[in-house]
């Protein structure tokens, strides 16, 4: 049962009363403000989320964006949902585009005509995401409960056991906790999680592999993370002549046949999805050298894949 505190500011008294009543019926603790001045007065209290109409001065003034301006003053960490009966590209940009410090004024933007179906899910997401950012355990547990099945299924598809999947999961969370703020917008969260899961599974499997001798390892479970190589592998596999395992074995062999430094670069680049800057820093070489190794290494891998295709 929700006991979250919500502030709603709207100068349309009828709409405000209706919305407040609806949210109260959903067990929210609601404070209302009928004007810009009133909203400013009550904003110094703490809220779990703030819902602001854009036109707080006068509904008929199409230049009135006082609600948007007020959103920019709301304490960081309190999600703001912008509500309006007059949506436009300009207003969405003002609300959601990141400003100079990288933060947007609002968490989301809802058209008043869609309030019935959209506001409650957006509000729940806003509070959930805020809790994740604050590291509140219940939110992380909820995320685990909701997303664990799809992540475990993904791990299984890549040949990992359930135990391995459970070992990968904290790494995904650790990554998420350091993630840039944009990925924590509700629409992006789920897709981003799966993307991160694929990266972390790849890194996990590479680490497992590093613990074994290269010659004795079974590379069939490896995941290539480099987009270009993935595309080419897929192209080679399309005709059905070459199995995925054989492709990966050949790529692994090709990487192992490179010089020691180039091999390290290609391992990090191909299997861990590390950036060139990160590889350069890790190996103490210039980015230019990393680029050269990647270019030459990729050429060799492409050659091996095309040989396979021809064979």
Decide: is 157 part of the binding site for other proteins (CB under 8 A): no
Decide: is 137 part of the binding site for other proteins (CB under 8 A): no
The residue written with tokens 């299984």 in the block is 156
- The DSSP symbol for 75 reads P
Decide: is 125 part of the binding site for other proteins (CB under 8 A): no
Q: Which of 41, 46, 191, 299 binds other proteins (CB under 8 A)?
A: 191
Measured from the CB atom, the residue of 98 and 170 that comes closer to other proteins is 98
The answer to whether 175 and 196 have CB atoms below 8 angstroms apart is yes
The C-alpha atoms of residue 44 and residue 1 are separated, in whole angstroms, by 25
Decide: is 97 part of the binding site for other proteins (CB under 8 A): yes
Measured from the CB atom, the residue of 152 and 198 that comes closer to other proteins is 198
The answer to whether 48 and 77 have CB atoms below 8 angstroms apart is no
Q: Which of 48, 53, 108, 164 binds other proteins (CB under 8 A)?
A: 108
The answer to whether 186 and 131 have CB atoms below 8 angstroms apart is no
Decide: is 187 part of the binding site for other proteins (CB under 8 A): yes
Nearest to 226 by CA among 156, 301, 150, 159: 301
| Binders in 29-88 for other proteins, by CB under 8 A | 87-88
Decide: is 121 part of the binding site for other proteins (CB under 8 A): no
* Helix (H/G/I), strand (E/B), else coil: 62: coil
Decide: is 96 part of the binding site for other proteins (CB under 8 A): yes
Q: Which of 69, 166, 167, 179 binds other proteins (CB under 8 A)?
A: 179
| Binders in 192-231 for other proteins, by CB under 8 A | 192, 195-196, 227-228, 231
Please tell me the number of Cα atoms within 13 Å of 68 on its side-chain side.
22
Decide: is 117 part of the binding site for other proteins (CB under 8 A): no
Q: Which of 60, 100, 157, 213 binds other proteins (CB under 8 A)?
A: 100
Element (H, E) at 84: strand 80-84
Q: How many CB atoms lie within 10 A of CB 15?
A: 16
Q: Which of 93, 241, 288, 303 binds other proteins (CB under 8 A)?
A: 93
Would you give the end-to-end CA distance of the chain in angstroms?
63
The residue count for the chain: 311
Measured from the CB atom, the residue of 144 and 182 that comes closer to other proteins is 182
Q: Which two tokens stand for residue 95?
A: 């609300």
- Residues in contact with other proteins by CB under 8 A are 87-89, 91-93, 96-104, 108-109, 133, 177-188, 191-192, 195-196, 227-228, 231, 294
């Amino acid at each position: 049962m929700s006991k979250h505190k919500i502030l709603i500011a709207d100068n349309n008294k009828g709409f405000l009363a209706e919305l407040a009543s609806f949210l109260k019926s959903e067990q929210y603790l609601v404070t209302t403000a009928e004007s810009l001045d009133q909203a400013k007065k009550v904003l110094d209290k703490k809220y779990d989320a703030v819902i602001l109409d854009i036109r707080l001065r006068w509904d008929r003034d199409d230049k009135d964006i006082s609600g948007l301006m007020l959103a920019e003053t709301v304490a960081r960490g309190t999600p703001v949902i912008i509500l309006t009966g007059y949506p436009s590209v300009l207003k969405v940009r003002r609300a959601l585009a990141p400003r100079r410090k990288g933060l947007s004024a609002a968490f989301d933007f809802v058209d008043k005509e869609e309030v019935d179906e959209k506001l409650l899910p957006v509000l729940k997401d806003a509070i959930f995401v805020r809790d994740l950012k604050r590291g509140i355990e219940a939110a992380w547990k909820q995320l685990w409960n909701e997303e664990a099945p799809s992540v475990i299924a993904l791990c299984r598809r890549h040949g990992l056991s359930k135990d391995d999947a459970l070992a990968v999961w904290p790494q995904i969370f650790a990554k998420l906790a350091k993630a840039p703020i944009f990925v924590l917008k509700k629409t992006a969260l789920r897709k981003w999680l799966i993307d991160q899961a694929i990266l972390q599974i790849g890194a996990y499997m590479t680490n497992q592999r590093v613990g074994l001798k290269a010659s004795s390892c079974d590379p069939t479970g490896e995941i290539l993370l480099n987009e270009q190589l993935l595309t080419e592998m897929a192209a080679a596999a399309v005709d059905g002549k070459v199995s995925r395992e054989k492709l990966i074995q050949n790529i692994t062999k090709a990487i192992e046949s490179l010089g020691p430094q180039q091999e390290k670069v290609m391992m990090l680049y191909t299997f861990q999805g590390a950036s060139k800057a990160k590889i350069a820093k890790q190996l103490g070489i210039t980015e230019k050298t990393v680029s050269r190794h990647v270019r030459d290494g990729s050429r060799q891998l492409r050659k091996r894949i095309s040989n396979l295709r021809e064979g």
